[in-house]
Structure 1
Amino acid sequence: MSEETKMSSAERQQLIIDTLKASTQPITGTEFAKKTNVSRQVIVQDVSILKAKNEPIIATSQGYLYLNQDSDNQLKQKVIVCKHTPEQTRKELNIIVDYGVSVRDVIVEHAVYGDLTASLHVSNRKEVDQFIKRIQNTNARYLLTLAEGLHLHTLEADSLEKIDAACRDLEKAGILVPE
């Protein structure tokens, strides 16, 4: 794309919104950057502007998602408390997703910042593997390391029975902190 035909920021932002609304899968900043012939950092800035305008866009480990409030209202949610080592993260997430339950986020309490929340949005073993690989490839630390392994997850599923079944297995594995 030549300099004269580059999209304006308003056009790019509208493209981001329209594309995310139409997608059920996360879309990376790199994908948007290639599509619009700008840097990934420009896309990050565009998304930040859209968030400031109250567009319900979240960044997950797999890319950006547009939160559709209509579908969220049909899902059951439960916040659970877990404690484990970083090495047990894959086991924890796989137990949850194997029951058809999605892990919406992870929350840790920080002594200075208070609650820190990160969007995960993992729903199956492939997404769990991608999340773990991304942590390993970037040498990032799991948020749970900030709180000696203690953290919360918001779980989502189409029934509370699925969430409860996942919780029973997490408890058997010694990961779930009893209520």
Structure 2
Amino acid sequence: MKQQEKMPSAQRQNLILTKLKEANQPISGSEFAKLTNVSRQVIVQDVSILKAKNEPIIATSQGYMYLKNEQEDHQKKKVIACKHNASQTKEELYLIVDHGVTIKDVIVEHAVYGDLTASIRVSTRKEVNQFIEKINAADASYLSALTNGIHLHTLEADSLAKIEAACDDLKKAGILI
């Protein structure tokens, strides 16, 4: 049985770009590694090279995404401030996604580094569960642990009404600041 050859780097990077531009959901580094017969770490390096070439690729908890042109994006956005402990994270995220709202990121203000932003990109309960499972599997802390639970989220939806409904529920739960 002949072992499949590794794909050359330029061809790999072109494939990554093409697949990400066509995708409507994140693609994991492991998926790219299988497609190209290289390690996930090689894919991480390829993505870093593409980012250095100003390709708008972001890493989310579900995989890589290509940021489409903002002018084509008709999504409504709002940044909200929240405060809660780690055990309330799932409740917070469920309250948001249950209204058809995507949680784009989490932002905390660090005393030394300034604003720290991490992409989350969750839109469903399943994605929330996967995000929380990854945090737990890595034995990692939430960024909000750096700020006694205070953090911001950028929310996106196809209407402001959905975002406002999510905010109303967060306020009732004592999470929205």
Q: Which amino acid aligns with 2:118?
A: A
Aligned AA for 1:12?
R
Residues 107-146 of structure 1 mapped to structure 2, 5 A cutoff: 107-146=107-146
Report the CA distance between 1:70 and its aligned residue: 5.2
Seq. identity, %? 66
Q: Which residue of 2 aligns with 1:81?
A: 81
Structure 1 stretch displaced more, 61-70 or 121-130: 61-70
Q: Give me the whole-angstrom Cα distance separating, in 2, the residues matched to 1:71 and 1:131.
A: 29
1:40-87 deviations in whole A, cap 9, x for unaligned? 111000001111111111100011111112576200000000000010
C-alpha distance in structure 2 between counterparts of 1:88 and 1:127, whole Å: 16
What are the residue-to-residue correspondences of 1:19-98 with 2, within 5 Å? 19-69=19-69, 73-98=73-98
Deviations 1:107-155 (A, max 9, x none): 0011111100000000010000000111111101000000110000000
Structure 1 residue runs without a partner (length 5+):
none
Do the aligned partners of 2:29 and 2:44 also contact (CA within 8 Å) in 1?
yes
| Alpha carbons of structure 1 residues 70 and 151: separation in structure 2 relative to 1, 3 Å | closer
Where 1:74 maps in the other structure, the secondary structure is coil
Q: Corresponding residue for 1:168? A: 168
TM-score, L = length of structure 1: 0.94
* CA–CA separation in structure 2 for the residues paired with 1:69 and 1:25: 16
Specify the code of the residue in structure 1 equivalent to 2:151.
H
Give the match's secondary structure for 2:130: helix
5+ unaligned residues in a row in structure 2: which ranges? none
**Code of the aligned partner of 1:143:** L
Q: Which residue identity does 1:36 align to in structure 2?
A: T
2-structure distance, mates of 1:71, 1:170: 30
What is the root-mean-square deviation in Å for CA atoms of aligned residues? 1.4
User: What corresponds to 1:100 in structure 2?
Assistant: 100
CA distance in 1, matches of 2:72, 2:164: 19
Distance 2:6 2:172 in 1: 56
Write out the 4+ residue segments of structure 1 that deviate beyond 4 Å after TM superposition. none
TM-score calculated relative to the size of structure 2? 0.95
What residue number does 2:12 align with?
A: 12
